[in-house]
Structure formats: C-alpha cells, structure tokens
Chains A and B, each alone.
Chain A
Amino acid sequence: MENLASASSTSLDNSSSDFAILDVRNISVSFGGVRPVQDVSFKISENSFTSVIGPNGAGKTSLFNLISGMNKVSAGEIIFRQQAIQAIHPHKIAQKGLIRTFQGAKIIKRLTVAENLMMAVQGNPGDNLSGFLRIRARRDFEAQARAEAMRRLDQVGLTKFADEYAGILSGGQRKLLDLSRALMAKPSLLLLDEPFAGVNPTLVEKLIMVLGELRKEKSMTFLLIEHDLETVMNISDRVIVMADGKIIADGLPGAIYENEVVIDAYLGSRRKEIK
C-alpha cells in the first residue's frame, strides 16, 4: 500500500519538482488526542490542478486549515514559493497569494454582493489608516475594484445582485460568489474547499466550466477538496486520496480510478453500485 502510493507520487514529483509552488513536508496536527492530519507530504507544481479526495473525516479540511495557517502544524513544514509559511499568520499567507475558500461558502451576509468581492482585492491603500488621507489613491482603487467586481459578476451571471445584501443569495449563488471572491484576490495558489457540495448539477457544470477557463489561462494553481472522485476526474491533473488523516494514494486520475487500495478503502462500495 505504501509502495503503491509513493511510487505514483514520485513519478509525478520528478517531472515537476523544479516548479513546485507548494511543498508540504511531513505535517501533522493533533488536538487533544485527536490527530486529523498525520505525517502528510506532497508537492504541488505550478499551474497544475490537483484534487484531494476522501470520505468525511479524512482530514481534508484540516489539511487546508494547516496550509492556510488557520491552524498551526504540530510538526512538519509547509513551503510556499520557497518560503516556510507554517508559522506565520493566515492573513500574511493570504497576502503572499495563497487564497482559500471555506466549506459551505462563507459569504458576508450583511455586505452587498459587490462589497463581498471588493473586499478581496489585494494591496488596498485603504486597508491602512495612513491611506485614509490618500483620498485620490483610495478613490481610484475603489473604482477599479468595483469594475473588476462587475466583470467577475458578469462571468458568473450575478450582475443583477451586485448591490443587494449577499444574505439574499441562494446556496448555489453563494458558491459562485465565494469562488469569484477568491479569484478577486488574484491568487497564485487557490485552495477550494468542496466547491461543488450541495450544488445542483447544472451549477456544478457551470462552476467546472469557469474553473476550466481559468486553467487555460495558466496563471493559477488549483488545489481542490472533493469527496467524490467522479466529479473531478476530468478536470484534475492529479488526485490525492486521503483517509484517516493520511495520504493513501496519489497519482493521475485514471490510475486512482483503477487503484485497488483506493477501491478497497473508499471507492469500493460506490463503484460496485454504479457498475
């Protein structure tokens, strides 16, 4: 089992190690006896699209919380663009271009849809009180942020809600807003936490289409959590499978689909149903 997993990941690593944007080295975390992530290592190459799959409780979201700095690792290192980030504040990590979304689309209900987006733009002079006096710089920045927000809203078809409270959006629309907001920050690495969960199939297609277009631009690296392999089969370059806080397999989507360990541990029952 260990051999299979490491063999497939090594082959991938060799081809792309020069351009690893994220390098996770033996990270673990424990909270009072529970160990959601145990000795996990992997590298993500630039402009790739990787999906992390696994059943509920496999440690996927915990892994994201560690990478984004929301929780601190108990052991191990996380290297993002040649810099160790495991000990720095989450907002600093975000400022470096590593942006994440949250399970269940955390939107700010009492900000308008446009404001939700505008908040995400990086380098705002108005984030500092000293910028309060730079009135023109702030005004120009706001105008640009607004224009950018409207472009993003147009892309996902939410233009008509721009000046409504985000709280009125439906579940699916919130997912679109959440994704758009993350994109407003122009991340170099984007972590998406179950962007498709609880979204109707038409909208899933739309989301995948948006992600597909972004992939073509080759300006962004994606790391995505999903519990269902089929959904991400076609969009992913690579799939990492987690169970019980460990990586149990890592490789090309097709290989994972056929991987006996994965079938036994996780996909087995579902696959049989489908067949």
Chain B
Amino acid sequence: MDAFVQPGFWVFVLALAGIYGIFALGLQIQYGVGGIMNFGHVGMMAVSGYTIAVLVIKYQWSFWWAAFVGVVLAALLGALLGLTTLRLSGDYFAIASIAFAEITRYWILNTDSVTGGTQGTLAIPNPLGFGGYTNQPDLILTWISDRLYPIVGDEASRDMSMIFIVWPFLFLFIWIASKLQQTSWARVLRATREDDDVPRSLGKNVFRFRLQTLVIGSVFGGIAGVFWALQFALLAPEDFLRIVTFYGWMILILAGATRVKGLIIASIFFGFLYGSTRFLEFWPLSLLSSPERAYLRVFLIGFVIVLLMLKRPQGLFGKRQEMVLE
C-alpha cells in the first residue's frame, strides 16, 4: 500500500493524466463536436514525437522548432487522412483511420536508418554521439525543479516539473475547446452528426467543416505527442500501438463524449489505472510480474470500456439522451 501514500506515485499519475487529457481532448473535438470516429489518433502522437526525436538527434535542430514541425506534420497527417477517407461513412472511416495509424507505425518500425526501427530513438544514428533529444526543455524542467525544491524538498522531480508544464496547457486547451463548442461553427458540426443534407442544403460545406475538426483534433494529438516525447525521453514503435488510441477513447467515454470538464477527472482516473498497474506493490498485485501487470492494465481498460458502454454509455458526466439519440 506504500505507493498510494507516496507523492511520487501521484505526481506520475498527474503528469500522465495531463498528457493523455490533451490527447483525449483531440478525440473529444472530433467525436463530441463533429461525430468523427477516429480510431487512428495514436498516429498523430507518433508522428509528432518521432519528428522531434529525428530532427533533434539526427539533424541537430532545436527542440522547439522540431516540436513545432512535429505538430504541423501531425496536422498534415490528419488532413491527409481526412482528404482521402472522410467522405466515407462512420464505420468505414473508423477502419480506414486505424489503417493509417498502422501504416505510420510500420513505416517507423522498418525505417531503421531514420527512426531507429525496433530499438527506438536510442538507435537513431547521430553524428554527435548522444541519443537524447530533451536537453533544451530539460533546462526548463530543471529550473522548475530548483524552484520547487525549497517548497517540497526531496519530492521535487522531473515528473513534478512536467505537471507544471503540461497542466497549464491542458487547462488552456480545455478553455479553448469549450469556447469552440459554443460557436456557430460547432453548431453546424452538431447538425452534421444527425444529417448531412440539411446543413448542405443551407449552404454549409459539410466536408470542410469535418476536415477542419479532424485537423484540429490532430493538432491536439500532435501536441500530446510532444509532451509524451518529453515525459519519457525515449520513443519506440511499441509505444504507439493501436491500444493507445483506446486509452484516449476510454477517457473520452468516461468523461461523456461532449463534456469538456469531465475530461480532467477521467484523465486522472486513467493516469491512476495506468500508474497503479505499473508501480503499486500490494497484494494481490504483488503476485504479478511486471509483464503480467501490463496485461492487467490492458484487461482493466477493456473492462472499463465494456462496462461503461453497457451500463452508462453517456459517461460519468454526460446526458444519456446524447448517446442514445445517435
């Protein structure tokens, strides 16, 4: 039970929650506003994360420019996905979006000379002889830790500094997203969730609205990728498996598909689920080896998704009407 009372555990949970909160916010804009079922969201995170690693390690770019380019590329991947397949109806688009993310991952996996292949970003060939890409932002993280030290003492850590970077962004993005939801732009999108012909017959370019939604969501996916890359300081292809998208979906349906504020609690719940299956050392968890705990995590996430859909499809904070009227 010790880990429960250790601040370090909760700090990790919060840092992770912030990152996945931003990730899920992208899905929320796509599905909650635009009704788009994107099951390949992890691809956006992979693209921005890997762009940073490659540009910084292989080409010695500054981290900040690399992050910017990473997010732009994630947005472009979203645009490409949308331009090619967004005309398909919901379930076909969902399948196509998975295929997109998987193609991205296979490319990363098999292009050793650029991405380091199966061994991850450590194996990216680089002229300077070091494998990290977080040196520049680490200066900021250290600066924050130094300021935290007088207050929290030895508990000051890189994870804790991450919270101070990620959460302000999460709040900012949630604020932007809730503003976006109140616009006439979002009103058209909400209409398209029911019917395309009506908005179209009233002069709305439905495809363009959807495409914009997909790209905006992808930008959030890309930004989440930047923070993810920063948090773990090492990327490998298996970090971007299909299941990561469903981490985001679990957060989203737990919060309620259109409830921006529920997202915070749902993300923390996810962070807790993730962190506790990884670090907690009490019976019966202590009986399991570390790979076995990874299965437990996957099982629990599947279980939460199934249970929610069966018992409370509107999520903890949503209105039932919105899910049932689908």
State the CA gap A42–B191 with chains docked (Å).
34
Q: Give the number of A-B contacts (CB < 8 Å).
A: 85
Q: Which of A85-110 contact B (CB under 8 A)?
A: 89-92, 94-95, 99-102, 106-110
With A108-B195, A110-B190, A119-B199 in contact, do A91 and B184 touch (Cβ < 8 Å)?
Answer: no
Q: Which residue of B lies closest to A100 (CB)?
A: B201
A120 with B185: CB separation less than 8 A: no
The interface bits of chain A over 129-142 (1 if a CB of B lies within 8 angstroms of the residue's CB, else 0) are 10110000010011
SS of B interface (majority)? helix
Q: How large is the interface on A (under 10, 10 to 19, 20 to 34, 35 or more residues)?
A: 35 or more
Instruction: Tell whether A70 is near chain B: CB-to-CB under 8 Å.
Output: yes
Instruction: Tell whether B320 is near chain A: CB-to-CB under 8 Å.
Output: no
Which residues of chain B come closer than 8 Å to A110, judged between CB atoms? 190, 193-194, 321-322, 325
Instruction: Tell whether A118 is near chain B: CB-to-CB under 8 Å.
Output: yes
Instruction: Tell whether B187 is near chain A: CB-to-CB under 8 Å.
Output: yes
Instruction: Tell whether A180 is near chain B: CB-to-CB under 8 Å.
Output: no
A115 with B197: CB separation less than 8 A: no
Q: Which residue of B lies closest to A129 (CB)?
A: B212
Q: Which of B186-238 contact A (CB under 8 A)?
A: 187-188, 190-191, 193-195, 197-206, 212
Which residues of chain A come closer than 8 Å to B198, judged between CB atoms? 102, 106-108
State the CA gap A145–B200 with chains docked (Å).
19
State the CA gap A265–B248 with chains docked (Å).
61
B187 with A70: CB separation less than 8 A: no
A119 with B201: CB separation less than 8 A: no
With A94-B201, A167-B325 in contact, do A108 and B191 touch (Cβ < 8 Å)?
Answer: yes
The smallest C-beta distance from A145 to any residue of chain B, in angstroms, reads 8
Binding site for B on A (CB under 8 A): 68, 70, 89-92, 94-95, 99-102, 106-111, 115, 118-120, 122, 124, 126-129, 131-132, 138, 141-142, 145, 167, 181, 185
11 A-B residue pairs with CB within 8 Å = A89-B205, A91-B199, A94-B201, A94-B202, A102-B198, A106-B198, A108-B190, A128-B185, A129-B185, A131-B185, A132-B183
